[in-house]
Amino acid sequence: MLRIIRPYLNAFAVRRAYAPLLAATFVLLAAGPLAAQTQPDIAAPQAILMDFESGSVLFERAADTSSPPASIAKLMTMAVVFREISEGRLSQDQEFKVSEYAWRRGGAPSGGATMFAAVNSQIKVSDLLRGAIVPSGNDAAIVLAEGISGNELAFTVKMNAEAKRLGLSGSTFVNASGLADPDQKTTPRDMAKTAMHIIADYPELYRIYSEPDFLWNKIRQSNRNPLLGMSLGADGFVTGYQKEGGFNLVGSAIQNGQRLIVVIMGSKSEKERAEDARKLLEWGFRSFESKLLFEPGQIVGEATLYGGERGGAPLTSTTPVRVLIARNGDDKLVARIRFEGPIRAPVEKGAEIARLFVYRGEQIALDVPLVAAESVPEGPLWRRAMDGAYELVVSLLRQGYAKLTG
């Protein structure tokens, strides 16, 4: 596969094309014919399977459709709590009081998932974390939210801010527990991104997700994640159910150093969501392997500059760029560099100015940021004048084309 890709990459055989929104696209590579990869037959209306290391998407179905999350919304709750801990604003030894609101809405009287926290008791953050993760306790999630922000509504401001920071475009959070609310929604892709963020940024805290059970108030509860007992290498995440949205699951498993993230949404039963998640994970581990496209610092392509000392800025990635390819037979992968352009000079080395998209057919298999590999200063007046005249002509041609095709 790489023997086919690299000659295209190294030769920079590119073609520039302008989209109506001034997005320049460079076609970088093309490989052999698409392998006949038999995808697993799953029942879930929404799903996604992603490779953790590369971010490659191996399977997706309605992955950007917003739906009720139920308890998988607790992934964002934990993302906020973990960040508070990692940045020193919250200690696991701190104690929070169980309010009557948290007890009634998420505790024993509620009839839902609970850690059985006693009203008005004081509980350490370390125990609340386990109560919110292992049995997916709604009371524990609410107590954490109240302890950090004063009330649950204020905590959701942090949840939505974190969602924006992580680039989640299809999610809105209105409570910390995932209890039913018509305004609370998420997508499989957003949940997969959140899961990857937790594993990458909070590996020590992520280990809680693999704990098999949790004892509180003399009640021992098993971990609700069905994947943990399937010999898949699963080590975490969460399930959820809501009448309006069905049965949901976020899972992660690792085999031979390769980690996959699976999200299932809208299943009709617990058994169906577990079986679909198992099928996707087994298929992903069996069918794909990771391949390196670019080393950190290797030149990937070039972005067009306006008014610079030269007409382009070389692009690179600060991290290895990997993509999953089919183990048997050739894949068809096409990579494109996209940026809003032309980019006005000067450009500083390390500035993020473009993104690399790798496609498997119509599916985006990889999306990584690209930075300027070196600084490009502003050019002399004559070059800026020539670039300005060129862009004016291109703009007029584009407007004329838009009128003809409108």
Q: Which positions are annotated as active-site residues? A: 71, 74, 136
Distance CA 209, CA 129 (A): 10
* Cα 254 to Cα 261: distance, rounded to the nearest angstrom: 9
Distance separating alpha carbons of residues 352 and 369, to the nearest angstrom: 7
Residue in 298, 295, 279 with CA at minimum distance from that of residue 287: 279
**Three-state secondary-structure class, residue 306:** strand
Paired with 147 in beta bridges are: none
Q: Do 123 and 96 touch, CB atoms closer than 8 A?
A: yes
Which one-letter DSSP state was computed for residue 41?
A: -
Q: Which two tokens stand for residue 348?
A: 């500083």
Please say whether the beta carbons of 187 and 181 come within 8 A: no
Rounded Cα distance, 26 and 264, in Å: 34
Q: What residue type is assigned to position 175 of the chain?
A: N
- DSSP state letter for 346: P
Q: Which stretches within 244-380 are classed as H helix?
A: 270-287
